Amino acid sequence: MAVPRAKRSFDLVLFGATGFAGRLTAEYLARTAPAELRWAIAGRNRDKLFAVREALADGDPALSDLPVLIADSADAEALSRVAGNTRLVVTTVGPYVQHGEPLVAACAEAGTDYLDLTGEREFVDSMYLRHHDSAVRTGARLIHCAGFDSIPHDLGAYYTVLQLPEGVPIRIRGYLRAKASVSGGTLHSALTAFSRGRANISTARRRSAAERSEHASQGRTRAAHWDRGAPHHDNASGGWAVPLPTIDPQVVVRSARAVERYGPDFTYSHFFSFSRLRTALTSVGTVGGVLLAAQLPPLRALIGRRIKPGDGPSLMQRRRSWFTVTFTGTGGGASVVTRVGGGDPGYDETAKMLAESAYALLFDDVPETSGQVTTVTAMGDALLVRLQKAGIRFEVIAT
């Protein structure tokens, strides 16, 4: 039985603190957590967890007593104990489609808020189908994609909407540019997703049907669409734009369906912008080759051996990394160009986004929501303010 939320021992438990993204998130929490935050780290490997705690205590001796919880991602009983004794679980353990569901289920049943950084569409859709209703019943907020997938895009589109008139149809395009390296965890999650194309499509269709039924029962009439678009020259960021079929546009559109400020008819398109046409063509070919290779287990394993899970870019590599997302928005006769930007997108900034999302849920005045919700739906303005204060840039470029 879950402990009543007001009597739980912890405000936040970080699950997967020994992985690459998990360690960076733990370090960010150690540097920035409010004094009143009661938090713990959790995972399956006791020795690695205590090594993480020792490293954190080198920077802050007070963390030498940071609680350590032992739980395997497949141990439903242990996960229920973790979820039942904290207000919020933050997890960085992927690939989520392989390891993530038991923790989502435990949080949904215990009425515990949940945050992750997945970009795996199949996982997000299947968790909606299996655990959204349970979370609505218990009051849990299940929030996926709270890292680089998909906060810059979700919050960036919302920020752009705020610059346009209310109550009118709105059209937004997002153009991503980035220079970054990948970790083993990211690589293995991507390979897993690439290898499960049919499952991705099937689960997405079942979710769409379930959402249509839910919206019809609630009498929703506002429309929101993802327009996949076509390759073109991008005048906003001065590059060659290629449609980017990541999870980000689905997240943006779901925020638009839930939040009235997006207007009666909202359309979003999502692209990667390359500085040179040749680079765009080469990159598309490379991704296509990896996608095909992922269908064959021997080739998938060969690619996966390039970077081991738990490994990632060095500090110097991350310091040289950056991202921008440029948005063009039109509506009601007005137009605007905005930009979101920051440093290393997949790791340093993701750890920041994940932790600041946790702080917003725990400490800020945010909308009352439950079930599977997006970052904008759950935290909106509060998270936007926090990210700006934390150094992620949201700015108007032109009107």
What residue ranges do the domains of the chain occupy? 5-147+351-378, 151-344+391-398
Q: Identify the three-state secondary structure at position 314.
A: coil
pLDDT in the model for residue 38: 98
- Taking Cα atoms as reference points, which of 29, 34, 38 lies closest to residue 8? 38
Based on DSSP, count helices (H) and strands (E) in the chain, helices before strands.
Answer: 15, 15
Cβ–Cβ under 8 Å, residues 354 and 90: yes
- Please check whether residue 90 is in contact with residue 15, taking contact to mean a CB–CB distance below 8 angstroms: yes
What's the pTM value of the predicted model, to 2 decimals?
Answer: 0.95
Q: What is the 3-state secondary structure (H, E, C) of 218-282?
A: HCCCCEEEECCCCCEEECCCCEEEEECCCCHHHHHHHHHHHCHHHCCEEEEEEEEEECCHHHHHH
For residue 298, name the pLDDT band (cuts at 50, 70, 90): confident
Residues 359-380 pLDDT 10s: 999 999 999 999 999 999 999 9
**pLDDT at residue number 177:** 95
Q: What is the pLDDT of residues 259-280, one digit of tens each?
A: 999 999 999 999 999 988 888 8
Tokens in use for 157?
A: 């589109």
Helix residue spans in 116-247 (DSSP H): 121-138, 151-162, 184-194, 197-218
Distance, in Å, from the CA atom of 231 to the CA atom of 244, rounded to the nearest integer, reads 10
State which fold the 5-147+351-378 domain adopts. Rossmann fold (3.40.50)
Q: Hey, what are 150's tokens?
A: 């998909």
- pLDDT, position 277: 85
CA-based nearest residue to 362, from 155, 135, 86: 86
pLDDT of residue 292: 79
Asked whether the predicted pLDDT for residue 1 surpasses 70, the reply is no
**pLDDT tops 80 at residue 188:** no
Residues 6+ apart with CB under 8 A from 40: 10, 12, 13, 14, 66, 67, 68, 69, 86
Q: How far apart are CA 340 and CA 392, in angstroms?
A: 7
> Which residue reads 């064959």 in tokens?
296
Q: Confidence band (pLDDT; 50, 70, 90) for 336?
A: very high
Q: Looking at residue 288, what is its pLDDT?
A: 79
Q: How confident is the model at residue 18 (pLDDT cuts 50, 70, 90)?
A: very high
Position 181 scores a pLDDT of: 86
Please check whether residue 118 is in contact with residue 251, taking contact to mean a CB–CB distance below 8 angstroms. no
Q: What is the mean pLDDT of the chain?
A: 93
Nearest to 349 by CA among 384, 390, 381, 380: 390
For the chain, what percent of residues have pLDDT higher than 70?
99
Could you tell me the sign of the dihedral formed by the alpha carbons of 18, 28, 150, 143, in that order? positive
**Per-residue pLDDT band at 299 (split at 50, 70, 90):** confident
Question: pLDDT tier at 282 (50, 70, 90 boundaries)?
Answer: confident
In the chain, the amino acid numbered 206 is R
**Among 238, 230, 317, 328, which residue's Cα sits nearest to residue 274?**
238
CA-only gyration radius of the chain, Å: 20
Instruction: For residue range 68-127, list pLDDT tens digits in order.
Output: 999 999 999 999 999 999 999 999 999 999 999 999 999 999 999 999 999 999 999 999
Task: Give, in degrees to the nearest 5, the angle at Cα 27 between 83 and 123.
Answer: 45
10 Å CB burial of residue 301 (0-12, 13-18, 19+) is exposed
SS3 of residue 165 by DSSP = coil
The answer, yes or no, to whether residue 218 has pLDDT greater than 70, is: yes
